[in-house]
Amino acid sequence: MPPLVPLTDHIWLYPRDPNPERIQPNVGIIVAGRQTILVDAGNSPRIARRILLALDEIHAPPVSAVIYTHHHWDHVFGGMVFDAPAVAHEICRKHLAEMAAKPWSQAYIQEEIMRAPAREQGLRGMARAVDDWRSFRIALPEITLSKTLRLYGDGLTIEIEHIGGQHAPDSLIVRVLEARVMFVADAYYPPPPHQGRPDDTLDHKMIERLAGENMELYIDGHGDPLGLEEFRRLAVE
Ligand SMILES: [Zn+2]
């Protein structure tokens, strides 16, 4: 279990798995008074249980909300473990309701690989991440937003905003305003491989716009936390 990475007095990171085959993104942890708010749920019940253990170690208060930044499996499949409502965009809920109706099992995943070979890498990651499909379920968002939603606790304002973009139409960003920290998740990434083209790039315009907010830290889905200048440089890569 990787140790939590402290980012500020109130914010930690359960860091991504650096092995790209594992497809385990960063999970943000915001301790706001009597509650802990998560940004994404981990890619599986196994990772989510590790997150709970890590929260115990820092004596974090109970998880009160899990924000799904978008509907991609690696950000939501841990959701069933948390005894707290998930918060997401309305489009995310719609996608997840469709995904929840599938007959999840190793056999189903094999069939999907045959049916859609372009998704093989993601599906193999999914098969590796989830070790018990019989008890698995997708925890649907109980709270949805279409534009913005703010959560408050212990002097912190957690602002959730729909940003959309080329990676996923339901992408949200999460700002912790007082800490000047922004969770961007995958919003500025290219579309997923099976939906994109070889010449897809990062969304440079989105990066420029978000860099214009002069946050101190930008945390995306699958990279290391970036300071403002490092983040700004992504706009010209
Ligand atoms: Zn994604």
Does position 237 have pLDDT exceeding 80, yes or no?
Answer: no
| pLDDT for res 193 | 82
* Range(s) of the domain holding residue 69: 5-102+137-234
- Cα–ligand 1 centroid distance for 55 (angstroms): 24
Burial 178-213 (b: 16+ CB within 10 A, else e): ebebbbbbbbbbbebeeeeeeeeebbeebbeebbee
Mean per-residue pLDDT, 34-38: 97
Using the mean position of ligand 1's atoms as its centre, give its distance from the Cα of residue 150 in Å.
Answer: 23
The residue-averaged pLDDT of 10-20 equals 96
Q: How far apart are CA 21 and CA 19, in angstroms?
A: 6
* Whether residue 1 has pLDDT greater than 80: no
In the reported structure, the alpha carbon of residue 70 is separated from the centroid of ligand 1 by a whole-number distance in angstroms of 7
**pLDDT band for position 12 (cuts 50, 70, 90):** very high
**Per-residue pLDDT, 3:** 85
Q: Ligand 1 center to residue 138 CA distance, Å?
A: 16
User: 179 alpha carbon to ligand 1 midpoint, in Å?
Assistant: 25
Distance from residue 137's CA to the centre of ligand 1 (Å): 19
Neighbours of ion ligand 1 (CB under 5 A): 72, 186
Q: Is residue 117 part of a domain?
A: no
| Residue range 218-231: mean pLDDT, rounded | 97
Q: Residue 103: is its pLDDT beyond 80? A: yes
| Predicted local distance difference test score (pLDDT) of residue 197 | 86
Going from the Cα of 69 to the center of ligand 1, the distance in angstroms, rounded, reads 9
Total domains, the chain = 1
Least confident range of 180-184, 189-193, 220-224: 189-193
* Whether residue 2 has pLDDT greater than 90: no
147-189 pLDDT, tens digit each: 999 999 989 999 999 999 999 999 999 999 999 999 999 999 9
Please give the share of the chain, as a percent, with pLDDT higher than 90.
94
The Å distance, Cα 75 to ligand 1 centre, comes to 7
- Is residue 126 one of the residues assigned to a domain? no
Query: In the predicted model, is pLDDT for residue 89 greater than 80?
Result: yes
Per-residue confidence (pLDDT) for residue 194, from 0 to 100: 83
Instruction: Compute, in angstroms, the gap from residue 192 CA to the centroid of ligand 1.
Output: 7
Task: State the distance from the centre of ligand 1 to the C-alpha of 35, rounded, in angstroms.
Answer: 26
Residue 116 lies in a domain: no
Mean pLDDT for the chain?
96
144 located within any domain: yes
Residue 222 CA, ligand 1 centroid: distance in Å: 9
pLDDT band at 134; cut points 50, 70, 90:
very high
Q: Is residue 198's pLDDT more than 90? A: no
Q: Is the pLDDT of residue 195 over 90?
A: no
- Give me ligand 1 centre to Cα 8, in Å: 25
119, part of any domain: no
For residue 78, name the pLDDT band (cuts at 50, 70, 90).
very high
* 228 class by beta-carbon count within 10 Å (0-12 exposed, 13-18 middle, 19+ buried): middle
Q: How far is the CA of 88 from the centre of ligand 1 (A)?
A: 14
In a domain, residue 125? The reply is no
As a whole number, mean pLDDT of residues 27-51 equals 97
Domain containing 24 — which CATH number?
3.60.15.10
Within a domain: 222: yes
